[in-house]
Structure 1
Amino acid sequence: MEAYIRTRVDTVLKSQFETILQDCGLSVSAALRLFAENVVRNEGLPFEITRKPSARLRESMRQTEELMTQGRPGFENVGELIAGMNNGEQ
């Protein structure tokens, strides 16, 4: 049994995609089938997805690193964290 996958893409992107695939001897369907098989076989995407951290995330990371270098207490589990937040009071 076969299933169909439909998606919308920009016309220019579709044209560029088809041209490259034709040069590789592949149709769009064949390329997408290969992609799907690769995702399933490797249980993930066949490429890395990255995103430049936002200014807010970079600042949070900087603050975290600063706290770690100051010898602030760490916690082994959520219970210890909550106790630390409550100054040991329940």
Structure 2
Amino acid sequence: MNNIDAAIDRIKILECPTGEIENRVAGILENYGVAERSKVNISRVKNLDQDQAQAYNVKFQGEDSSIVVLAKSGLDDYVAKVVDAYKK
């Protein structure tokens, strides 16, 4: 398994405060040696939302590949849980 696959597996089990999804995902990618935090661009993409999960597109500077992360907020809207992550 290469670093990006291992990072995606880690992202899939991420739970964190709702406003920290982007920061935590960037940190995981950096920790797994996929990309430096400064070379990761994470943006909200509503047209990729699925089953009430909010989609985030993770792009890497200078590369065509990206990762989609789907996260759902809990009932109190404080904790977000990633329900899926995949290469696009």
Q: TM-score range by the shorter chain?
A: under 0.3
Larger-Rg structure: 1
Q: Larger % of helix: which?
A: 1
TM-score by length of 2: 0.22
TM-score by length of 1: 0.22
